[in-house]
């Protein structure tokens, strides 16, 4: 039985806590958050606290809070020979200033509290500073996911950047598609099968091979037509991404 304290109650902390509750080999012995509101609903299932001085003894401490608060919270966990990890994509393992060992437990997924997630397929990127800790994190990760990877801090920073392109920026392009639809009385849901197929294709083709469209085939007539109707606030993005696709495919 691995004893766990979870620190934080944001989207990642919330879903991690729920996932670990379901695991028979993990005991979430405590959840900390600076305000009580976000953790009050957990009081029937585990100890809760808003005071870092009351943190109990456990094997692993998972800090899942805003990036800039991680060092401060870690520094207040004055245990020895325990493992303190954070869950952030772009924060080095070295930012964890602690008297215990340190590591990273980064679930690479987009979380909203209102949307259930299936943790078993979520990649968990782990990092530790010795073999024993790596094994411990590996065991912990495998309790909730079948998709565990050892990724160092430098790679994780790059992976987080890649995630910004493929998640944050992609979602913003969805928003632009939605705006164009709404401005023309077209239901946005018409685009959903296309959007899903664009993602699903990646099981069969890599995105470089999967590229289609007027920029890829250098169809200047269609590109001109689009430039005439593209809304002002999207024109620069249309031009820049078109140019980038043309360059990529040597047009």
**By CB under 8 A, is residue 93 in contact with its own copies?**
no
**By CB under 8 A, is residue 50 in contact with its own copies?**
no
CA-closest candidate to residue 152, choices 204, 91, 224:
91
**By CB under 8 A, is residue 233 in contact with its own copies?**
yes
Give the span between the Cα atoms of 123 and 147, in whole angstroms: 5
C-alpha gyration radius of the chain: 22
Q: Which of 153, 198, 218, 251 binds its own copies (CB under 8 A)?
A: 198
Based on CB atoms, which residue is closest to its own copies, 139 or 175? 175
Give the span between the Cα atoms of 248 and 238, in whole angstroms: 15
Shortest distance (Å) from residue 90 CB to its own copies: 5
**By CB under 8 A, is residue 153 in contact with its own copies?**
no
Within residues 14-33, the interface with its own copies by CB under 8 A covers none
Give the span between the Cα atoms of 133 and 249, in whole angstroms: 45
Based on CB atoms, which residue is closest to its own copies, 78 or 220? 220
Within residues 211-230, the interface with its own copies by CB under 8 A covers 211-216, 219, 221-222, 225-226, 229-230
Neighbouring C-beta atoms of residue 127, cutoff 10 Å: 23
Within residues 51-70, the interface with its own copies by CB under 8 A covers 67-68
Based on CB atoms, which residue is closest to its own copies, 60 or 108? 108
Query: Encoding tokens for residue 167?
Result: 């998640």
**By CB under 8 A, is residue 154 in contact with its own copies?**
yes
Q: How far is CA 26 from the centre of its chain?
A: 22
**Count of residues that interact with its own copies, criterion CB under 8 A:** 94
User: Which of 22-30, 43-51, 79-87, 192-200 is the region at the interface with its own copies (rule: CB under 8 A)?
Assistant: 192-200
**By CB under 8 A, is residue 97 in contact with its own copies?**
no
Task: Count H helices and E strands in the chain, helices first.
Answer: 9, 8
Query: Encoding tokens for residue 55?
Result: 């943190």
**By CB under 8 A, is residue 146 in contact with its own copies?**
no
Based on CB atoms, which residue is closest to its own copies, 35 or 209? 209
Based on CB atoms, which residue is closest to its own copies, 54 or 182? 182
Packing angle, helices 11-21 and 131-144, rounded to 10: 80
Within residues 103-142, the interface with its own copies by CB under 8 A covers 108-110, 112, 114-115, 117, 121-123, 125
Helix H or strand E encompassing 28: strand 26-32
Based on CB atoms, which residue is closest to its own copies, 43 or 220? 220
Q: What are phi and psi of 107, to 5 degrees?
A: -80, 120
Query: Encoding tokens for residue 108?
Result: 């690479």
Shortest distance (Å) from residue 180 CB to its own copies: 4
Convert 78-96 to b/e letters by CB count within 10 Å (16 or more is b): ebeebbbbbbbbebebebb
């Amino acid at each position: 039985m691995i004893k766990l304290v979870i620190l934080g109650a944001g989207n990642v902390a919330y879903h991690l806590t729920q996932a670990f509750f379901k695991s028979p080999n993990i005991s979430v012995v405590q959840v900390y958050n600076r305000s009580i509101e976000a953790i009050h609903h957990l009081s029937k299932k585990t100890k809760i606290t808003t005071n870092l001085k009351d943190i109990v003894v456990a094997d692993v401490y998972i800090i899942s809070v805003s990036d800039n608060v991680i060092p401060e919270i870690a520094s207040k966990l004055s245990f020895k020979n325990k493992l303190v990890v954070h869950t952030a994509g772009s924060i080095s393992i070295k930012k964890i200033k602690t008297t215990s060992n340190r590591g990273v437990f980064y679930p690479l997924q987009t979380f909203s509290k209102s949307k259930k997630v299936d943790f078993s397929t979520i990649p968990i990127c782990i990092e530790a500073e010795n073999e024993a800790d790596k094994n411990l994190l590996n065991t912990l990760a495998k309790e909730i996911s079948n998709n565990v990877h050892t990724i160092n801090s430098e790679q994780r920073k790059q992976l987080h950047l890649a995630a910004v392109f493929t998640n944050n920026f992609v979602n913003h392009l969805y928003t632009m598609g939605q705006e164009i639809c709404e401005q023309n009385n077209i239901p946005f849901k018409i685009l959903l099968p296309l959007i899903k197929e664009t993602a699903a294709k990646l099981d069969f083709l890599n995105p470089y091979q999967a590229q289609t469209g007027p920029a890829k085939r250098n169809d200047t007539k269609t590109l001109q037509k689009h430039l005439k109707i593209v809304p002002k606030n999207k024109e620069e993005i249309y031009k820049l991404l078109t140019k980038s696709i043309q360059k990529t495919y040597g047009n």
